[in-house]
Chains A and B, each alone.
Chain A
Amino acid sequence: MGKVVLVTGVARQLGGRFVRRIQRDPQVDRVIAVDAVPPEHHLGGADFIQADIRQPTIARVLAETAADTVVHLDVTAMALGSGSRTTVKETNVIGTMQLLGACQKSPTVKRLVVKSSTNVYGSAPRDPAVFTETTPPKSLPSGGFAKDAVEVEGYVRGFARRRPDVAVCVLRFANILGPSADTPLASYFSLPVLPTVFGYDPRLQFVHEDDVIEVLRIASHEPERGTLNSGTFNIAGDGVLLLSQCSRRLGRPTVPLLLPAVTWAGSLVRTLGVTDFSPEQIRLLTHGRVVSTDQMRETLGFQPKYTTAETFADFARVRGPGLLPPEALAGAVDRIAALPALGGGHPPTQSAN
Chain B
Amino acid sequence: MADAKVIPFDDDRSRGAAVQRPARRRGAGSRRKESSLVREVREVQPLPGRASAQDDVPVTREEQPPPEAPQDQGGIERRIAGGLSFLRRRLTGDYDVDDFGYDEELTDQVLMSLLRPVYEKYFRVEVKGIENIPAEGGALIVANHSGTLPLDGLMMQVAVHDNHPAGRHLRLLAADLVFMLPVVNELARKLGHTLACAEDAERLLGQGELVGVMPEGFKGIGKPFSERYKLQRFGRGGFVSTALRRGAPIIPCSIVGAEEIYPMIGNAKTLARLLGFPYFPLTPTFPWLGPLGAIPLPTKWTIQFGEPIHTDGYPPEAAEDPMLMFNLTDQVREQIQHTLYKLLVQRRSVFF
Q: Which residues of A contact B (CB under 8 A)?
A: 125-130, 132, 135, 197-201, 203, 239-242, 244-249, 259, 287-288, 290, 292, 326-327, 329-330, 333-334, 336-337, 342-344
Contact = CB atoms under 8 A, between A and B. Distances in A.
Nearest to A127: B195
27 contacts: A126-B195, A128-B194, A128-B197, A128-B199, A129-B100, A130-B200, A130-B203, A132-B199, A199-B183, A201-B186, A203-B99, A240-B98, A242-B103, A245-B93, A245-B97, A249-B93, A249-B94, A259-B182, A290-B99, A290-B100, A292-B203, A326-B91, A330-B92, A337-B84, A342-B77, A343-B80, A344-B80
Interface string B170-200: 0000001001111111100110001101011
A126 B179 CA distance: 7
Contact of A344 (B84, B90, B95, B199): B84
Contacts of B5: none
B81 A344 contact: yes
Nearest to B178: A125
Contacts of A125: 176, 179-180, 185, 195
A16 to B, nearest CB: 32
Nearest to A334: B88
Contacts of B73: 343
Interface in B68-125: 73, 76-77, 80-81, 84-85, 87-88, 90-101, 103
A333 B87 contact: yes
Contacts of A198: 182-183
A203 B80 contact: no
A249 B89 CA distance: 10
Given A246-B93, A330-B88, 16 more contacts: A127-B195, A128-B203, A129-B199, A130-B100, A203-B99, A240-B99, A240-B101, A244-B93, A247-B93, A249-B93, A290-B99, A333-B84, A333-B87, A337-B81, A337-B84, A343-B76
A239 B190 CA distance: 15
A200 B181 CA distance: 9
A199 B186 contact: yes
Contact of A326 (B92, B95, B97, B98): B92
Interface of A is mostly: mixed
Interface of B: 73, 76-77, 80-81, 84-85, 87-88, 90-101, 103, 176, 179-186, 189-190, 194-195, 197, 199-200, 203
B275 to A, nearest CB: 16
Contacts of A135: 199
A337 B195 CA distance: 40
Nearest to A331: B88
B80 A199 contact: no
B155 to A, nearest CB: 23
Contacts of A203: 97, 99-101, 189
A330 B85 CA distance: 9
A130 B199 contact: yes
A135 B198 CA distance: 12
5 cross-chain pairs, A with B, having the tightest CB-CB distances, nearest first: A199-B182, A248-B93, A326-B92, A125-B179, A128-B199
Contacts of B85: 337
Contacts of A245: 93, 95, 97
A326 B87 CA distance: 12
A316 to B, nearest CB: 10
A240 B80 CA distance: 30
B98 A200 contact: no
A197 B76 CA distance: 38
A227 to B, nearest CB: 23
Contacts of B94: 249, 326
Residue of A249, A333, A334 contacting most chain B CB atoms (<10 Å): A333
Contacts of B203: 128-130, 292
A200 B190 CA distance: 11
Nearest to B202: A128
Contacts of A240: 97-99, 101
Contact of A242 (B81, B101, B185): B101
A248 B93 CA distance: 5
A200 B185 contact: yes
Nearest to A250: B93
A248 B199 CA distance: 31
Nearest to B194: A129
B99 A249 contact: no
Contacts of B76: 343
B196 to A, nearest CB: 10
B318 to A, nearest CB: 22
A334 B84 CA distance: 8
B97 to A, nearest CB: 6
A117 B101 CA distance: 21
A120 to B, nearest CB: 17
A128 B99 CA distance: 11
A273 to B, nearest CB: 29
A259 B92 CA distance: 26
A331 B88 CA distance: 9
A200 B95 contact: no
B88 A129 contact: no
Contacts of A336: 84
B101 to A, nearest CB: 5
Contacts of B180: 125
Residue of B73, B85, B182, B200 contacting most chain A CB atoms (<10 Å): B182
Contacts of A249: 92-94
Contacts of B197: 128
Given A129-B99, A129-B194, A199-B186, A343 B199 contact: no
Contacts of B98: 240
Contacts of A241: 97
A246 B93 CA distance: 7
A62 B65 CA distance: 74
Nearest to A239: B96
B16 to A, nearest CB: 47
A337 B184 CA distance: 33
B99 A344 contact: no
